[in-house]
């Protein structure tokens, strides 16, 4: 029900409902009950969708503390909590703290799931985005490339397109138009592996073709 409310734009109602559910469950089960994690992650998702990074951070910290207490610091659940925490800290310009979260989450996921797993790729993508947004292009580039390699091996064409497009934005902003164009071509090539309707929808959402056309016009000037 909460997800449906969020999808329909009824965020205030979703927030109220989540608060009521959390209060009732915490009173019944206790603040350290693992059953609370679903509601905590729902709060995280809600505030992320609203761009309310401070509120998101508060619930990410709850999730991190609960995961650490119940599952331990070497668990996949703790890695997920750390990754969420990193996502909240970045937009608040707490880049060093965010970086530590992603590096720790990455180490856990590599150890448990393997270096070429989808979980590792998602962490790499988020880490690269943090580095991109903090102006660390030289370091972000290889991480984007490693992430792209995993998505390609896993045949996750939509996720590959997202990563390649994000890298293209980074290179364009860094005045490396040639590399930006290269990544846009690769993103469109990835989408060509999907059914046409799906590819067109993703392209429309990500504006890959539009960005490519705009960049081509700029290069002609």
Q: Is 80 in contact with 67 (CB distance < 8 Å)?
A: yes
Q: Is 131 in contact with 170 (CB distance < 8 Å)?
A: no
Per-residue pLDDT at 5: 63
Across the chain, what does the average pLDDT equal?
94
What are the tens digits of pLDDT across the range 149-194? 999 999 999 999 999 999 999 999 999 999 999 999 999 999 999 9
Helices (H), 71-136: 76-89, 95-113, 118-133
Q: Is 86 in contact with 130 (CB distance < 8 Å)?
A: yes
In the chain, what are the helix, strand and coil shares in percent, each to the nearest 5?
85, 0, 15
What are the tens digits of pLDDT across the range 1-38? 666 666 667 778 888 889 999 899 999 998 889 999 99
Number of residues assigned to the chain: 221
Per-residue pLDDT at 219: 86
Q: Is 56 in contact with 44 (CB distance < 8 Å)?
A: yes
DSSP 162-206: HHHHHHHHHHHHTT-HHHHHHHHHHHHHHHTTS-HHHHHHHHHHH
What are the tens digits of pLDDT across the range 49-86? 999 999 999 999 999 999 999 999 999 999 999 999 99
């Amino acid at each position: 029900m909460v997800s449906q409310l969020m999808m329909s734009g009824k965020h205030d109602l979703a927030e109220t409902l989540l608060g009521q559910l959390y209060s009732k469950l915490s009173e019944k089960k206790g603040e350290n009950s693992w059953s609370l994690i679903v509601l905590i992650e729902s709060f995280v998702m809600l505030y992320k969708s609203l761009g309310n990074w401070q509120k998101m951070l508060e619930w990410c910290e709850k999730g991190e503390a609960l995961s650490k207490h119940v599952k331990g610091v070497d668990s996949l659940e703790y890695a997920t909590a750390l990754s969420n925490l990193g996502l909240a800290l970045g937009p608040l310009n707490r880049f060093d703290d965010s970086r530590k979260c992603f590096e720790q989450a990455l180490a856990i996921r590599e150890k448990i799931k393997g270096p070429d797993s989808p979980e590792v790729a998602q962490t790499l993508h988020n880490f690269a985005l943090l580095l991109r947004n903090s102006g660390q292009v030289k370091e972000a580039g290889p991480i984007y490339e490693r992430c792209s390699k995993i998505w390609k091996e896993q045949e996750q064409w939509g996720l590959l397109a997202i990563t390649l497009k994000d890298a293209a934005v980074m290179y364009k902003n860094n005045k490396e138009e040639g590399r930006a164009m290269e990544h846009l071509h690769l993103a469109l090539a990835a989408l060509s592996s999907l059914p046409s309707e799906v590819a067109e929808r993703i392209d429309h959402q990500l504006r890959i073709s539009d960005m490519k056309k705009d960049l081509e016009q700029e290069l002609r000037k």
